[in-house]
Amino acid sequence: MASLPTPAIPAAKHWLGDHALYWLFARWSLWRSFDHVWLQQHGPLPDPRDGPLVLYLTHSSWWDGYLMYVIHRMVLGGRFDAHLMMEERQLRAYRFFTWSGAFSVNRHDPDEAQRSLQYAAGLLRGGIRPRALFIFPQGKIVPADRRPLVTYPGVARIIALVGEVQLCPVALRYEFLGQQWPHAFMRLGPVHRAANPADIDGTLADLTARLTAASDALRDDVVATRLDRFRPLLRGRRGIDQTFAAFLRLWPARRTHQPDA
């Protein structure tokens, strides 16, 4: 770790801090704020035996960071040593995310950005067990349906530095579906590899096309409420609408069994 080029804010993984952030921040907040968290999986899950992993995600909400915890722990089973490239200004405000492997990137400073890319590549190449890098190639929060989907070349440059690495697109979306609490949806996979890791432009174009296709397919399934294509990962607290509907279902039965006067 000491030999890696160091970004302004390097990762400072701490097992207890990471555990606390997952349970006290991510899981608790998702339970309080969402009706369900749903997963749609395409193809086999990434396997640590196949080497390091880069998960590239759409970025339409502040909640995306919490869903990364769910992907890392509940979907991938914590089998990878996970890290996250995070915008420097945001990480300075929430520096405790370094406990979960977050490190900074400042794409407005070319030298600092290059150090972060080299640091990310060094993380993926090293480690006792295979590492995973979560990255938002859009670079900022963007409305989920804005097209074209614009990505920055940092993710492709990391792939060029690492060489052989598993790649996995992840599309995220949030909808209310007519209920009090919103639903969170994730579409993961399929896993693939860069045709030519050294071809930065070609890799970026391929990743952008795959992420766009995943985001569009997720939108279509959610808008059509095809929930049979998902599996529930988390269930949140029941909304007032559901509680009241359950009460109304019981009320006719109670009236039916009332004794005659």
Angstrom distance (rounded) from CA 23 to CA 28: 6
Per the prediction, the chain carries an average pLDDT of 92
What percent of the chain has pLDDT above 70? 90
Residue 170 near residue 187 (C-beta atoms within 8 A): yes
Higher pLDDT, 30 or 250: 30
Q: Could you state, in order of their start, the residue ranges of all structural domains in the chain?
A: 15-256
| Strand extents, DSSP E, 161-213 | 166-175, 183-188
The confidence score (pLDDT) of residue 253 equals 54
Residues 189-216 pLDDT 10s: 999 999 999 999 999 999 999 999 999 9
Range 15-256 classified under CATH 3.40.50: no
Least Cα distance to 133 among 74, 183, 80 occurs for 80
pLDDT tops 70 at residue 35: yes
Question: pTM of this prediction?
Answer: 0.90
